[in-house]
Structure 1
């Protein structure tokens, strides 16, 4: 039996390993950290924070794939009562309603937006410059990019349309994304996948693995570039300050504060899942994209300004605080004239396949990792069959 190797135990790697094992292939998954999950890990302890805001979108392929295997687990939607506490920062003040121009753009079908134009230019021609800027900044929650208006109009509109759908598409795994990773890992092991954690694969080891069967590299694009010594493995991503905060509960706190004056987002995740923080406390998470020349402190300052508006007295109420600067770890963005098809190909040659959130695969947020992992595994299984068949033919001859 030809062996399929999967390097990387995040969502892409777990999806690939499960798909390969379901085909009957002997499969081993290698993860450099002691725990699986990649950027889908959930922190241990009383504050169950993810690495940035996470949600599953019910119209996406990932949710359906998980549901068919009984892996979806309990999900919670945006609570109706807390949904009314959605606030928009516009012209320096918090408002209960978004500008009508933003709503008009949200309703437009993605295929009406051109691939070759900047989103800001295309949107301004339909709702005016002010509405276009607000829409670009609102879409930043799914882009993690400091200048969404400069990206491909089609790319941004696809995300804006799904983010603004009613009822909301977003669903949240109870207990954080770590619970979803646990179910995926248990299912993989149940299918016979050998899972090796705390095992780093270098170029030499990769070559040895490739001699026994196809290899799926399901790491970050930067890690894949170094591992495969392939300078072509590059694509633009965002640079984002991630903010984690626990505060004592206060009546009237916002559920979400969306910054329409600049890309920024704050969300109270305990509104839908109170178990993410101790009783009497609320877990807030946010993202504030910054430009390539900006310092992390500038993103933190923007976050604190938004906290002052949406969560009065948050400094005195804070019980825990964390955060990070995510550089190139938040998925691919497409410039005008490019689509997901132009990103690094899943097929790398010589039995090597690529998966991850910056690979040539469609989808919103984590759906790109899922879709590329699925495709890489199916191609690896096919390649393994061809390899096995040719070997058998040689023996018969």
Structure 2
């Protein structure tokens, strides 16, 4: 492929740019913000917050891809003493262990759960209604949705299974996700990718060349003039808090009475806050009529139970509502295959965490990015068979195409 335009410089856009450049393509990437990263951007200043909790799951294909290219970097290691401070809130109290029935349910793979039945109904038949409700609430750490039990059992069970795996699949880049984005951007520059920041694109390029749109779904719908580009996502209050350090604070409080999660990120990465302070990031899903105040009040109730004197220790805080920016959720009877297709026709491809690609959290952006590049390469190859005369190009095309096929079928 001679050239490719990418609109959006987040995790998916950078993945696509590196993948295409490795195949010998001339890539230009446009990002409307002054810095790269999208939702993977890490805030500047003394508190290195992400836009909501972020984790890399080592069971996904993007882990191997990043590792092969030396892009993983240093990972924050959780001391064993901190791991022992994992807490759950259930039946109105903070406890040290989750229900055993929930752990038994979590051992089941996603393939053991039906697609066309909601999670609450299916799980209630396995472990009872009460435990099913608590398991659904726990799964919200990877869903950002106020009612996980109403979603497809297969969809929720995959996230429950992976979020409770031992050893844990979740890992965190030291210094925040911005460090990972910086490494990916440097790799793209080294590969010859032209990156234009502070460059908003309001129309597709007039030259008709292949374009990858790696933006949030609502932005893609506006750019492409296609209102059908919609899919349900979560609605979540993000609550960030810096406290003066106190020994004995929990590492995590997972609310099993109502979906909610508070994590002390400096337990594993002290560099995220100034010395003597600890950074907490919480996500509290809210329904369609919920408000930011509702989510903050939920967080405060959990803090009152698990973080003694937190109000007097607070040195900084902020709260916001994230709507339609937390990945796709699948209702009963639907899977990732039913989401907006990657291939939009006429040389336009869609990348992001709400499109037709498998995976959990950032894995969806990754697999859709690899798939988009694979499709674009193959379309260009078929359209220019008479001009392909370099065997290495064909060989690399086959390798990228095989990866794209594998990720869609997984």
Q: TM-score, normalised by structure 2?
A: 0.93
CA distance in 1 between partners of 2:49 and 2:161 (Å): 27
Q: Aligned ranges for residues 111-130 of structure 1 at < 5 Å?
A: 111-130=111-130
Q: Which sits farther off after the overlay, 309-318 or 181-190?
A: 309-318
Partner of 1:47: 47
8 Å Cα contact 1:78-1:170 kept in structure 2: no
8 Å Cα contact 2:86-2:252 kept in structure 1: yes
CA distance in 2 between partners of 1:78 and 1:29 (Å): 36
Partner of 2:135: 135
SS of the aligned residue for 1:76 comes to coil
8 Å Cα contact 1:151-1:334 kept in structure 2: yes
8 Å Cα contact 2:327-2:353 kept in structure 1: yes
Give unmatched runs, 5+ long, in structure 2: 390-410
Partner of 2:305: 309
8 Å Cα contact 1:119-1:150 kept in structure 2: yes
8 Å Cα contact 2:381-2:388 kept in structure 1: no
Give aligned pairs, total. 389
Using a 3 Å threshold, how does the CA distance of structure 1 residues 79 and 245 change in structure 2: closer, same or farther?
same
Q: Please say if 1:83 is aligned against 2:83.
A: yes
CA distance in 2 between partners of 1:77 and 1:321 (Å): 25
Q: Please say if 1:335 is aligned against 2:331.
A: yes
Partner of 2:243: 247
Q: Aligned ranges for residues 51-200 of structure 1 at < 5 Å?
A: 51-200=51-200
8 Å Cα contact 1:214-1:383 kept in structure 2: no
CA distance in 2 between partners of 1:202 and 1:119 (Å): 40
Partner of 1:22: 22
Please state how far the C-alpha of 1:2 moved relative to its aligned partner. 2.6
8 Å Cα contact 1:173-1:180 kept in structure 2: yes
Partner of 1:201: 201
CA distance in 1 between partners of 2:225 and 2:320 (Å): 28
CA distance in 2 between partners of 1:5 and 1:229 (Å): 18
SS of the aligned residue for 1:173 comes to coil
Q: Please say if 1:222 is aligned against 2:218.
A: yes
CA distance in 2 between partners of 1:97 and 1:28 (Å): 50
CA distance in 1 between partners of 2:37 and 2:382 (Å): 31
8 Å Cα contact 1:56-1:63 kept in structure 2: yes
8 Å Cα contact 2:77-2:269 kept in structure 1: no
1:313-365 Cα shifts (integer Å, max 9, x gaps) = 11111111122100000000000000000000000000000000000000010
8 Å Cα contact 2:358-2:364 kept in structure 1: yes
Please state how far the C-alpha of 1:381 moved relative to its aligned partner. 2.0
Choose between structure 1 and 2 for higher RCO, CA contacts under 8 A separated by at least 6 residues.
1
Q: Which sits farther off after the overlay, 310-319 or 327-336?
A: 310-319
Please state how far the C-alpha of 1:74 moved relative to its aligned partner. 0.7
Please state how far the C-alpha of 1:392 moved relative to its aligned partner. 8.8
Partner of 2:317: 321
CA distance in 2 between partners of 1:231 and 1:333 (Å): 19
Partner of 1:352: 348
Partner of 1:377: 373
8 Å Cα contact 1:49-1:176 kept in structure 2: yes
CA distance in 1 between partners of 2:388 and 2:68 (Å): 35
8 Å Cα contact 1:13-1:373 kept in structure 2: yes
Using a 3 Å threshold, how does the CA distance of structure 1 residues 342 and 77 change in structure 2: closer, same or farther?
farther
